[in-house]
Structure 1
Amino acid sequence: MISPAIPENELDRLESLHQLNILDSLPEEAYDTITELASYICDTPIAVINIIDSERNWFKSAFGTDLAGSSRDVSFCGHTILEPTVLLEVPNASKDARFKDNPFVTSETPINYYAGVSLLDYKGLPMGTLCVYDSNEHQLNEKQKTALKALGKQVEILLETRRKNNVLENLKRELDDNNKILREFASTVSHDLKMPLANMILTADILKVKYSGSMDEEGLNYINYLKQSGLTLSDYINGLLDHYANNKADIGKVEEFFLNDMLEDIIDLLQIAENCEINLPDNNLKIVGNTAAIGQIFMNLLSNSLKYNNQERIIIEIDCTENRDFFNFTISDNGIGIPEGKQSGIFDLFTTVAEKDRRGKKGHGIGLSTVKNIVESLGGSINLTSKEHEGTCFEFSIKRYNKLD
């Protein structure tokens, strides 16, 4: 018997193999179907998908045998991967110098026939083999060889799909971990900054009241600038806290309310100017849902429609329809609109529509990202249509609850 040699690219091969994370994995129907087909097409009692590790052959799928693998130094497949582009066929192993003393050949239930094709990764490195065995001398015809190679290609596709899925899962896990760290960091920093900021704003007010008589106009402007900067940073921090607090809204807290009643309360909070016309839906729908979450969505969208509007008369239209599964809402305005190039990323965190809003303030790009998180946590989706200088329409849906929990 001649034990198979170690390929020159063994280290690279093993690194690629371990990235598959397939060794000792559970059986899968997709692989088992292929070994059954290989046995049938090649007219052999045994077919195996074999993964070759550093010291062992492990059977990902085996048809016609209860074996789970073997030692690599007595394997047929170890020889196959030495010429990974060639189908290795051994018509009678007892007459082949490489295998005649092999324990599988000399056993009470001997293997005398073997044919195998290498299973290559995207770099051409062999991960293992698809092979067939028989206790009797055997030989494949050309059609059977072609079919065995074709089935091997199907196994390669399964393996590479697994590899890509592993990469995606690892990226998702890393992203989730990074997001968790960012949420904790943002929450900690934001909370730690809120009190010093509140003190700074309060101190600015005290300075203005107590020393305004002894300050010139430039000094008072500095005080006002200090306070305004503090308020801007406070809004930014509150926005971050809202964004991460609502990353997964508590959709379990549902209650019954009328849409227009909620909208009127929001309009009162926003202190709408006389030059603004907000038209509510004609049908005051009864909604069963999370009032706080839905209210925050409308608060953010209405606030944006007011801030990013340069018309002398601001007009905002709100509508709502319902079907069996969802409530569907629209909010449209006659504001500045969103340039086409910014629309695809408008819901990304820290993405802003314009340099400054109606009052000359720069936005932080947190509100719409928060809105998207809340909408999706409520089982819905959100999108927009907009034309620059003509206005924007946001459409969003939320999953419908037919009764209170």
Structure 2
Amino acid sequence: MIKPPFPSDEKERLSAVRSYHLLDTLPEKDFDNITALAASICDVPIALVTLLDANRNFLKSHYGVPFNESPRNTSFCAHAILEENDLFIVEDARIDPRFQRNPFVTEMNAIFYAGVRLMDPHGYPLGTLCVFDSKPRELSNKQKKALSSLAYQVVNLFESKKRNRTLMTVQEELRERNEELKNFAGIVSHDMKMPLANMIITSDMLQAKYGGLLDEQAKKYLDYIKQSSFTLSEYITGLLEHYETDKTASYVEEIFDSQDLFEEIIELLNISVDCEINLPEENFEMQANKAALEQIILNLVSNSIKYNDKEKIKIDIECREKDDLYHFSISDNGMGIPAEEMSHIFELFGTLGILDREGKKGNGIGLSTVKKLVTKLQGEIAVSSTLGVGTTIEFYIQKNGGANKAF
């Protein structure tokens, strides 16, 4: 018996093998199906998918044998990876000097061997797809081609699992970073709200105490400080709502009347302009995440009021049950949305570049938060709009435990 030597690039080859994280893993059906097929095609009792480690031959799939590893120095596959030809065949191991007195030959009657090298994309042989028989024999050209094709599929499986593992690692890193960002945003936002409140209060105090001593320009500066503080405060509140959507979406579902929900929302809006809001005529009992639903509708109705250039604002709200879903529609007679901007309105920080009725520019957080909450409630949201005429936003959410359906 001749012990197989190590390849000259063994260090790099081993690194390639271990990069797949398949050593010492449990059997998998995808690989077992391939070895079963290889054994059937070649009409042999044993078929293996092997990975050559430093001192052993690990059997990722072992059809026809009860063990999952063997010593490398007696391995047929350790010889096979050294061959330039991808298909390595030993027709009768009893007369081959490399395998005479090999324990696999003398004790397990491994006489015939055919192995195809499993080559990674960088040209390193990882192991083999191989078959054994207990008698001397030959493979037909069709069998050889089939074995090579199956080996190609094994490598594809290796690569697919490697990519999936990388993606899972990246997803976990992104999840951790997103969690860090949420925590950072929460801490910073909470810490900034108090100084902003102080700035607003201080502006009012200066205006009240020293207003008579200030000229018009100075008064404008004070008013600008106050309004900027309000704008930043609204921005921070929006960010907090956006990053706390997971918490809001996890609230326990409640049972409540639809009419009560809409009336509470109108009360929260504290509307001070000429506005007609038409509520659904039908009142029915709902079971849903009330806090999340309230935040969604509050955002949408608030936008219908803010981005409206008509003397009298008109908003129609519709709500209905259908199968396992609650459907909502909010239509207004506002400014409308340009067609080229329709696909961006639900993006975080995506703004239309237009001013609301009070001359303020939006921050692009509210609708992103709405979209995120609707998605968390296993629903979908859609928008249709005519510039200068108005906008309709429709969305649905699932009833408790309902099946997902389209509009």
TM-score normalised to structure 2 length = 0.90
In 1, are the aligned partners of 2:249 and 2:373 still within 8 Å (CA)?
Answer: no
The one-letter code of the counterpart of 2:95 is: K
> What does residue 198 of structure 1 align with?
197
> What does residue 174 of structure 1 align with?
173
> What does residue 405 of structure 2 align with?
none
RMSD over aligned Cα atoms: 2.4
Partners of 2:84 and 2:260 lie apart in 1 by 72
Q: Secondary structure at the match of 1:20?
A: coil
Farther-moved stretch of structure 1 (130-139 vs 366-375): 366-375
Partners of 1:33 and 1:389 lie apart in 2 by 63
Partners of 2:67 and 2:111 lie apart in 1 by 17
In 1, are the aligned partners of 2:308 and 2:333 still within 8 Å (CA)?
Answer: yes
> What does residue 24 of structure 2 align with?
24
The one-letter code of the counterpart of 1:272 is: I
Q: Secondary structure at the match of 1:249?
A: helix
> What does residue 377 of structure 1 align with?
376
Q: Secondary structure at the match of 2:188?
A: helix
- 2:397 is the alignment partner of 1:398: yes
Farther-moved stretch of structure 1 (200-209 vs 319-328): 319-328
- Give aligned pairs, total: 402
Partners of 2:269 and 2:140 lie apart in 1 by 81
Partners of 2:67 and 2:341 lie apart in 1 by 59
Partners of 2:79 and 2:329 lie apart in 1 by 67
Partners of 2:350 and 2:16 lie apart in 1 by 39
Farther-moved stretch of structure 1 (192-201 vs 178-187): 192-201
Residues 1:125 and 1:305: Cα distance change in structure 2 (over 3 Å)? farther
Following superposition, the deviation at residue 339 of structure 1 comes to 4.0
The one-letter code of the counterpart of 1:102 is: N
> What does residue 33 of structure 1 align with?
33
Following superposition, the deviation at residue 341 of structure 1 comes to 4.4
- 2:214 is the alignment partner of 1:230: no
Q: Secondary structure at the match of 2:97?
A: coil
Structure 1 spans left out of the alignment, 5+ residues: none
In 2, are the aligned partners of 1:84 and 1:118 still within 8 Å (CA)?
Answer: no
- 2:194 is the alignment partner of 1:185: no
Farther-moved stretch of structure 1 (93-102 vs 202-211): 93-102
Q: Secondary structure at the match of 1:331?
A: strand
The one-letter code of the counterpart of 2:74 is: V
> What does residue 314 of structure 2 align with?
315
- 2:215 is the alignment partner of 1:219: no
Residues 1:149 and 1:366: Cα distance change in structure 2 (over 3 Å)? same
Matches within 5 A, 1:355-366: 355-366=354-365
Q: Secondary structure at the match of 1:385?
A: strand
Residues 1:85 and 1:199: Cα distance change in structure 2 (over 3 Å)? farther
Cα deviation, 1:187-241, whole Å, max 9, x if unaligned, reads 1111111211111111111111010011111111111111111111111111121
Following superposition, the deviation at residue 30 of structure 1 comes to 1.5
In 1, are the aligned partners of 2:92 and 2:112 still within 8 Å (CA)?
Answer: yes
Partners of 2:73 and 2:62 lie apart in 1 by 20
> What does residue 335 of structure 1 align with?
334
Structure 2 spans left out of the alignment, 5+ residues: 403-407
Farther-moved stretch of structure 1 (257-266 vs 235-244): 257-266
Following superposition, the deviation at residue 9 of structure 1 comes to 5.1
Matches within 5 A, 1:148-167: 148-167=147-166
State the identity as a percent.
Answer: 49
> What does residue 241 of structure 1 align with?
240
Farther-moved stretch of structure 1 (339-348 vs 177-186): 339-348
> What does residue 323 of structure 2 align with?
324
TM-score normalised to structure 1 length = 0.91
> What does residue 102 of structure 1 align with?
102
Farther-moved stretch of structure 1 (264-273 vs 179-188): 264-273
Residues 1:380 and 1:46: Cα distance change in structure 2 (over 3 Å)? same
Cα deviation, 1:34-75, whole Å, max 9, x if unaligned, reads 111111111111111112233332111111101211233332
Following superposition, the deviation at residue 136 of structure 1 comes to 1.7
Partners of 2:345 and 2:51 lie apart in 1 by 47
The one-letter code of the counterpart of 1:210 is: K
The one-letter code of the counterpart of 1:308 is: Y
